[in-house]
Each structure stands twice: as C-alpha cells, then as structure tokens.
Amino acid sequence: MASADPLQPGAVFTRAPLLLITQPGSPTLSFTAPDFTCGETAVVLAELYRRAAGWKVRAVGQGYASGLAGVATDYGVDVEPEPAATPPLPPPGRAGGNPGPSGSEVDLSKVERLAPGLVPPARQAGRVLADRSIADRRAAVYLILDHDWHMEELYESFAVQAFAERVLALSANLDDDGTVPVIFSSGEQPFLEEIRLDNYRRRIGQLHTQVDWGWGNVAAAMRRAAGHYQESGAVDPAFVVTQVGDEPLDKAEVRALLQNTAPLGVFWLFVGFGRGKLAFYRNLNASASATFTNVAFYDATKNPGSVPDERFYAGLVEAFAAWLRR
C-alpha cells in the first residue's frame, strides 16, 4: 500500500510503479496496475494472504480518492466521517444529470459522495444511454458472475472486480438506489449478495472467497435472479447482466428460462469474457427462426478492462435500448 504525502496538498497518484515478486526457485512475476485517473491519494497494489497451507499474492491495483480513510473502511476499520459539506448550487440555467420521467433526473451526486472513483464511468454510461434515447428509462440491474474453476485467474487479477464496478456505474443511471444484486454462478445453490456504491471497493474479492469453485450453473443463477426480481415487486424492467466464461451445461433449460421470463419484463445480456467456448450464447438469436426477444450477447474480449468506457457501455446497452423502445 502507498499513500500520497499529506503535507503536499493536491498530491495524487497517476501511474503505478512496476511490482515485482521474486521467490527462490520460481520465475519472477510482475504487475503494473492501470493508470490512476480519479484523484487517488492512496493505493493498494497487492495483497499477501494465506490460503490452506501456503501463501498467495493477489494483484489488486485499487486506488482510493478518499485516501487512507477509504482503505481503512475497506479493511473493516470504522472511521469517523468528516462533516458533510454543503454542495454548491449549479450555475443558473444548467441542470445536472440525465432527464428522467415526469421531469425527474438521475442525480449522480450520490456517486460523487459515496464512490468518487466511479464518477467518470457513470457519466460515460449516462452519455451512452442518452445517445440511445433511453436516459429517461429506469431498470433494476442485476449481475451474474461465473464462478467456474477456470475463472480463478480473472478473479485473482482484479478483472472481475473491475467489470462489476463498471456495471455498478451503469446502474447508477438506471436505478438510483446505488445497489446491484450479485449472484455467483456455482453449482445448484448460487450465492446472492450485493455490491453498493458505499462498499464496492474490493467487494467481489471479499464475496467470491465465500463461494466454492465448481461448475458454473448459469441456469440456476438465472432462476435465482428472476425469483429475486419477482419477489421485489419492482415495476421497472430487469436488466440482468450475465457474465459467462463457457458454454452452459443445460442449454435447453437456459432457452426455457429466456422464453418464460420474457412476459415478466426481464432482459438478459450475456457478456462473454473468459477462457471457454461461447458459441451457444453468441448464436441464440443468430438464426432466422430465433424467438428470443429479451436476450442479447456482447463479447467483452478476454480482457474487458482494456475496452474503453464508451465502447464498453455501447456494447452493454445497445440491444437493451432497442428492447425498451419496442
């Protein structure tokens, strides 16, 4: 961990140093975190932790615009909050956020207050929604994550955490409660928790260690998401971002779930990134006889973190926007 010198006001991190890990008899490993662009004053580059009988190193690369207080909070230390400052009034004739129904607006001040590191992607997501004429629409956003054993490297490298953060930033524009239910697809009993604006840092790493590695049962995770949505009594449609890393085991059940949830107002976006085969999801609507109106596939590549925000969010919402406008 590193922190900017508090005696130098305005000092922030921009680029992370190269981190080298050496061990006798083993090759040297290296990690360079992405650039820090959101005024981070404290960063955690890596974590050393014990699992079973050995030690492991996890590449993190997480920055904190909230400084050491943000780091302490993530590690379970209670920090006395600073008195809230009164936000400045907007300039005359200008309004922030995106227009919503009946003149309402998506207020990103909650993001600015609770998750300043997510402000840039949240604004970019808002622009993409506005470009597709759905900035005034609302939706309950869900996130399903593949927890098959072949995903372990992507969890350890922070790629899944970064993906979840971008989905959370999108949800701030579609549902201002600042919360996204997260379902880990692993076996018959998928694990459901949530990621929020006030706890998103390192959240996926904290949660996924509570889930056994296994075979990613996407159908069971889909049933859990649909059931949670129905029980919530939400009137807005559900936008379920389903990260998949390989073909499903029960393709017929997935097809049945897609068909049965269409009348409920549930839209499924399968986002492919991982090491497995994705032809099933890619071809769901490829044939002329396809009947699924509430599903799309987006290939986020094996490294979605390298996809610029504008292109990433365009891929996420393009089909969903068309479905909303039907």
Kindly give, in sequence order, each residue whose CB lies less than 8 Å from that of residue 81, ignoring residues fewer than 6 positions away. none
H-state helical runs in the chain:
67-74, 109-114, 119-131, 152-156, 159-174, 203-208, 218-232, 251-261, 279-282, 309-324
pLDDT tens, residue order, the chain (326 aa): 777 766 565 677 777 777 788 878 778 878 777 776 666 777 787 777 676 677 777 777 777 766 776 666 556 555 555 544 444 433 333 333 334 443 344 678 899 999 999 999 999 999 999 999 999 999 999 999 999 888 888 898 889 999 999 999 999 999 878 899 999 998 778 899 999 999 999 999 999 999 888 777 899 999 999 999 999 999 999 999 999 988 888 889 999 999 999 999 999 999 998 777 889 998 887 755 567 889 999 998 877 888 899 999 999 999 999 999 88
pTM above 0.85, yes or no: no
Q: What is the mean pLDDT of the chain?
A: 82
